Amino acid sequence: MNITIQNPICYAKVVDSSHQWGDIPSLTNPLPILVLQMTLAIVINYGIDFILQYFRQPRILSNILSALLLSPSTLNYINPNLGDEVFPKDSLTILETMSNFGLLYAMFIQGLHADLTPIAQKRFKTTCLACVSFLFPFIVGSFLYIAFKEAARIEHDMNNIQVVTLYWGMVLAATSFPTLAPILANLRIFCTKIGQEALSLALFHDVLTWALVQFILAMSASSPDNKSHVFTSSTGCVLLFMLIYMAICSILLKPIISKLSNTVSKGENYICDVVVKTIMFIVLAGGFLGNYFGSHFIFAAFVLGTSVPCGLISETFILKMEDCILGVFMPLYFALMGTKIDVKELVRCFRYSSIIIIGVIAKVLCTLSCAFVSGYSIGDSFALGVLLSSKGLISIVILNIGHDRGHLTEESFELLLLIQILSTCLVGPITHKCYARRRKFNYSYTQRTLQGAKPDQELHIVTCIHTSQNVYNLISLLEISNITTKPIISIFAVHLIELLGHASPMLVEHEPRDSLWGIDSKPFFRRARNQSIQIIEAFHEFEDKKGTFDLVQMLTMVSPIDIFHEDICNLAEDKQASLIILSFHMQQGIDCRLEDTHVEFKLVNEKVMSIAPCSVALLIDRGLRTTSLTSTSIHNKIEDDDIIDIHITMVYVGGPDDREALTYASRMATHSFITLTIYRFLVQYNATECQQLNNNSELVRMRKRIKKEKEIDDKFINILLQKNDRKESIYYVEKFANTGDEIISILREMHDNCDLYVVGRDKSNVFPLISNLELWSEYRELGPLGDILVTSDFSSNSSILVVQQYSKESHTKSGTNSIDINKLSGF
């Protein structure tokens, strides 16, 4: 029998050489070639990624572009033989082995990060929208292949049309959750309602994509030799293997790994390393079984990754392997992909411009239509359609599998790749232009301050929690804030967790009374799991004491710390909050001195106060929880004589911030066990000083501004005192002072076991003499008086609340007040 082999490739037998450099050229050896290929792939990949970050592009796009730059057809433009020298044919087998090894573990890591639990928590409306917005683009993609056949005049297609239409439909319908999450974070809309809805839909689409991938793999593997027919029996056998494999992983393997993960403690690193190495071997064995039974190793690796429960083992594997796999091996995979691409042919695909346009906008239009019918506005529907057009790694992998198995021709492969590139690269810029800018100022969001609140409207407060050490003092503050008094306060308690590694940022809105699923769902939650449980349980106990179960909405925000401030402000605007409560970055130590416990949050607090869409309060806790929790938790259970009174001192100098602070303090005073003392400081000039002021035009204008502000303050305080004239727990005292030092001296003399000082932040426009103290301030975010109270010895045992009122003009406080002073809040 004569056998003819077309285009035979003879591999060199030289693996390594001990000769001197001049005897044998180094690039004839496999190892130097592999090192050169790895170096080029990693450097070009990271270089493009660094550049594309400034254009709001995801990592997957830099991977694809690096593949195009490393294509032999591109390298041959530089030198006619450069492509063949860098990627000789006899080196592709080694390159393919290394890249597939990286892809195997990359799919396993994606499985580790995958979380299907939130799907069960979503509404029926979201589920229907996800399914319909996935199905319609899939149908469009299937018909688009028929149009491509007509346009390309393909008469004798050896591939089965059912299999090829599955590839086309999947490319158009797929959405990548790991790709979309960083895009939302870069666009600063991650914590918005539309951002969270897009993530929910992307998660559904990810699951549907993987289900479709399994079906495609089964159908394409059933007829490797005869691509024009699909054998039902072979497809059924492959699908049966997939089901058995998933059952073994979930029923047998998952409980074993879960038991080992719970048994191994954090100090037993040796045992944990052994288990991790065993799992690495199981991943290799699973990949082998996947290929052997006609499926693909990516299926086996991904399913195995989803079977590993959250715990020390999964966390250890991610910390040790993720950077190496995604940073070293995956660039090799895309370099190998580049060898399959002819850039000239890719450019020529633009002649199918109508197919490309339909392929790019199909997902957008289908999602827009479905979302609009579901009740979303046209702007939000368009934003959802654009965001869900982002593609990811799994789409690229399936395209490569279709090309390798011969189901996709060169032209079809490059056309689908071009559609993916255009769909993904347009997501960031379009969303930024059309949606992010539209959110710069929401005119329907009017209740941005406590002073402007209406008695019949519910107030929203966002509290930010760094660790479990912050939760009790914040609960104490909320408890003395009398949240059940009209206007009723709804609380959004946000636990801030810094994003580490390559995990996706996320915002988990915990379901009431069933709020622990988000903590267990991801490996990177584990390091904050105990704190999250304490925080959630503390707020649940707080609700139980109040007798209500809908006052607190628990959230967990996982985000890079350098954009925490934007995520917090976006969340506050999305929830239409009137106040953001922050915790000071220092906490009281054993010796009653403040210690730096979270220095990184100092900058976060400063940035939040500079761009906040509403008022902000910064709490410096010095044992407020001991007093408040003791008194409030048993307030309804013991006699009034046994209740411990809380003394609050309001230092009132004047201006918008002080009016906001006094509004908050007056609400606290509605508690029967709270005593509020208002110290108002007025400026008093003698005759000589008045003459000097009259001779200086700038000082005259400043004095007029102070006088105008004083008139507003007088009306504001008169209204407040009239509304609270029957309350014996509110005391009003006026003091005269010309400098900040005189104010501090008076406070030192008047200090009498004060539990909480309440002060406004900015004083420069209403009390210019005190603004000189800012030159010596150590903590600028506290303002001059707040800084002095923090550093003074007489107030070392008192908690301090610094309040800043929202101002529309560049988030700065002017001398005028935009809020009608006759509309004091119904506190």
Contacts of 44 by beta carbon, 8 Å cutoff, 6+ apart: 66, 69, 70, 331
43-52, 279-288, 442-451, 657-666: segment of lowest average pLDDT? 442-451
CB 505 within 8 A of CB 559: yes
Q: What's the gap between Cα 549 and its chain centre?
A: 27
Give how far Cα 543 sits from Cα of 143, 478, 554, 575, Å: 55, 11, 12, 20
More confident residue, 773 or 193: 193
pLDDT(317) > 70: yes
pLDDT at 641: 44
| Range 35-43, long-range pairs (CB < 8 A, 24+ positions) | 36/86, 37/86, 37/87, 37/91, 37/95, 37/332, 37/335, 38/328, 38/331, 38/332, 40/70, 40/86, 40/335, 41/66, 41/70, 41/331, 41/332, 41/334, 41/335, 42/327, 42/328, 42/331
Same domain, 193 and 226: yes
pLDDT(701) > 90: no
Domain boundary among 404, 436, 468: 436
Q: What is the DSSP string of 526-594?
A: GGGHHHHHHHHHHHHHHHHHHT-SSSEEEEEEEE-GGGHHHHHHHHHHHTT-SEEEEE-SEEE-TTS-E
Same domain, 424 and 469: no
Tokens 């180094």 -> residue: 26
Query: What is the reported pTM?
Result: 0.76
In whole angstroms, give the CA distance from residue 673 to residue 645.
5
Side by side, which strands form the sheet with 459-465? Answer: 506-509, 552-559, 489-498, 459-465, 579-583, 615-620, 799-804, 756-760, 646-652, 674-682, 730-736
pLDDT(528) > 70: no
pLDDT at 502: 57
pLDDT(826) > 50: no
Same domain, 375 and 524: no
24-28, 53-57, 800-804: segment of lowest average pLDDT? 24-28
CB 229 within 8 A of CB 160: yes
Strand pairing partners for 594?
588
In whole angstroms, give the CA distance from residue 32 to residue 26.
6
pLDDT at 464: 92
The pLDDT-based confidence of 638 (bands split at 50, 70, 90) is very low
Over residues 539-545, the mean pLDDT reads 81
Same domain, 432 and 464: no
The reply to whether 58 falls in a domain is no
pLDDT(68) > 90: yes
DSSP 8-state code for residue 422: H
The reply to whether 10 falls in a domain is no
pLDDT(193) > 90: no
The reply to whether 87 falls in a domain is no
Over residues 91-105, the mean pLDDT reads 92
CB atoms within 10 A of CB 245: 19
Same domain, 463 and 400: no
Same domain, 658 and 536: yes
The reply to whether 749 falls in a domain is yes
In whole angstroms, give the CA distance from residue 215 to residue 495.
40
On average, the pLDDT of the chain sits at 79
pLDDT(724) > 50: yes
**DSSP-based three-state secondary structure for 498:** strand
Over residues 282-302, the mean pLDDT reads 89
Looking up residue 608, the CATH number of its domain turns out to be 3.40.50.12370
pLDDT(402) > 80: yes
Which residue from 542, 538, 569 is spatially nearest to 483, judged by alpha carbons? 542
Q: Are strands 552-559 and 489-498 parallel, antiparallel or unpaired?
A: parallel
The reply to whether 110 falls in a domain is no
CA atoms within 13 A on the CB side of 536: 21
Which helix (H) or strand (E) segment holds residue 675: the answer is: strand 674-682
The pLDDT-based confidence of 104 (bands split at 50, 70, 90) is very high
Contacts of 335 by beta carbon, 8 Å cutoff, 6+ apart: 37, 40, 41, 66, 67, 70, 87, 95, 99
Q: What's the gap between Cα 61 and its chain centre?
A: 20
pLDDT(768) > 50: yes
Chain segment 404-425, per-residue pLDDT in tens = 888 888 889 999 999 999 999 9
239-243, 365-369, 515-519, 705-709: segment of lowest average pLDDT? 515-519
The reply to whether 442 falls in a domain is no
Over residues 602-618, the mean pLDDT reads 91
In whole angstroms, give the CA distance from residue 423 to residue 251.
39
In whole angstroms, give the CA distance from residue 459 to residue 579.
8
What percentage of the chain carries pLDDT values higher than 90?
A: 22
SS (H, E, C) 335-378: HHHHCCCCHHHHHHHHHHHHHHHHHHHHHHHHHHHHHHHCCCCH
Same domain, 559 and 418: no
In whole angstroms, give the CA distance from residue 768 to residue 765.
6
Q: CB burial class (10 A; 0-12, 13-18, 19+) of residue 645?
A: middle
The pLDDT-based confidence of 634 (bands split at 50, 70, 90) is very low
In whole angstroms, give the CA distance from residue 394 to residue 549.
42
pLDDT(822) > 60: no
pLDDT at 320: 84
Contacts of 689 by beta carbon, 8 Å cutoff, 6+ apart: none
The pLDDT-based confidence of 618 (bands split at 50, 70, 90) is very high
H-type alpha helices, 669-751: 687-694, 697-723, 740-750
Chain segment 569-578, per-residue pLDDT in tens = 988 988 889 9
pLDDT(3) > 60: no
Q: CB burial class (10 A; 0-12, 13-18, 19+) of residue 654?
A: buried
37-41, 282-286, 719-723: segment of lowest average pLDDT? 719-723
Same domain, 216 and 365: yes
In whole angstroms, give the CA distance from residue 142 to residue 216.
13
The reply to whether 56 falls in a domain is no
Structure tokens at 668: 């606290």
In whole angstroms, give the CA distance from residue 77 to residue 72.
9
- CA gyration radius, the chain: 33
Over residues 689-695, the mean pLDDT reads 52
Same domain, 473 and 398: no
The pLDDT-based confidence of 687 (bands split at 50, 70, 90) is very low
Q: Which domain holds residue 202?
A: 123-324+352-436
pLDDT at 662: 92
* Cα angle value 269/274/280 (rounded, 5°): 125
The pLDDT-based confidence of 154 (bands split at 50, 70, 90) is low
pLDDT at 433: 80
Same domain, 599 and 702: yes
The reply to whether 378 falls in a domain is yes
Sign of the alpha-carbon dihedral angle for 104, 105, 106, 111: positive
The pLDDT-based confidence of 357 (bands split at 50, 70, 90) is very high
DSSP 8-state code for residue 456: T
**Residue 555 phi, psi dihedral angles, 5° rounding:** -135, 150
108-122, 188-202, 292-306, 773-787: segment of lowest average pLDDT? 108-122
Query: For the chain, how many structural domains are there in total?
Result: 2
More confident residue, 514 or 114: 114
CB atoms within 10 A of CB 772: 13
Over residues 35-55, the mean pLDDT reads 92
Over residues 33-60, the mean pLDDT reads 91
In whole angstroms, give the CA distance from residue 598 to residue 101.
41
Over residues 159-188, the mean pLDDT reads 84
Give how far Cα 774 sits from Cα of 768, 771, 796, Å: 11, 6, 20
20-24, 499-503, 823-827: segment of lowest average pLDDT? 823-827
Same domain, 678 and 535: yes
The pLDDT-based confidence of 773 (bands split at 50, 70, 90) is low
The pLDDT-based confidence of 608 (bands split at 50, 70, 90) is very high
Side chain identity at 465, as an amino acid letter? I
pLDDT at 585: 82
Same domain, 533 and 477: yes
